[in-house]
């Protein structure tokens, strides 16, 4: 059996101070019956704090595995499957602007998906990448202006 962790729990660490996302998180936590999950993490600092000056985001801080750990507690022995959006547009550029904008630090000189895969493996969670069924040739045929889109390249990197 696979369980997909609701998206507010996956993204709350980075965006929990946005008024609307915070309300969404609180509502999802109430629906799950665990209202404490609707509260931002301790030690995350404030908007202008440097990450190294916080307990939560510093090197080896609490961010490292918190969401998956909480999901494992909630779902027990059920296999956790984390859905990762395949941001493949502009993949064939050095800066990987679409991925960077989405929060994936995956420039041409760094494997941004390896830490994600490592974390999921550590917690015996599965990775569900959304673009595995796409073809680079078909994508570029349907959208000729998108010569740098490469869903297959992204899938090969993640695998």
Q: What are phi and psi of 90, to 5 degrees?
A: 65, 20
- pLDDT score, position 17: 57
Within 69-125, strands assigned E span 79-84
Q: How many other CB atoms sit within 10 Å of the CB of residue 5?
A: 20
Bigger pLDDT: 136 vs 2: 136
The string of pLDDT tens digits covering residues 74-122 is 777 888 888 888 889 889 888 888 888 888 888 888 898 998 888 888 8
153 — pLDDT class (breaks 50, 70, 90) = very high
Phi and psi based region of residue 60 (left: phi greater than 0; alpha: psi -120 to 50; beta: remaining):
left
């Amino acid at each position: 059996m696979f369980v997909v962790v609701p998206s507010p729990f996956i993204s709350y660490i980075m965006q929990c101070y946005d008024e609307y996302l915070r309300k969404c998180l609180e509502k999802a936590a109430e629906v799950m019956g665990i209202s404490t999950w609707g509260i931002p993490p301790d030690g995350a600092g404030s908007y202008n704090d440097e990450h190294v000056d916080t307990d939560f985001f510093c090197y080896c801080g609490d961010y490292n595995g918190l969401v998956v750990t909480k999901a494992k507690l909630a779902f027990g022995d059920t296999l956790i499957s984390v859905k990762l959006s395949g941001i493949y547009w502009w993949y064939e550029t050095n800066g990987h602007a679409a991925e960077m904008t989405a929060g994936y630090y995956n420039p041409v000189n760094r494997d941004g998906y390896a830490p994600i895969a490592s974390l999921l493996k550590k917690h015996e969670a599965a990775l569900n990448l959304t673009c595995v069924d796409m073809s680079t040739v078909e994508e570029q045929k349907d959208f000729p202006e998108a010569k740098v889109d490469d869903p297959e390249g992204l899938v090969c990197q993640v695998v």
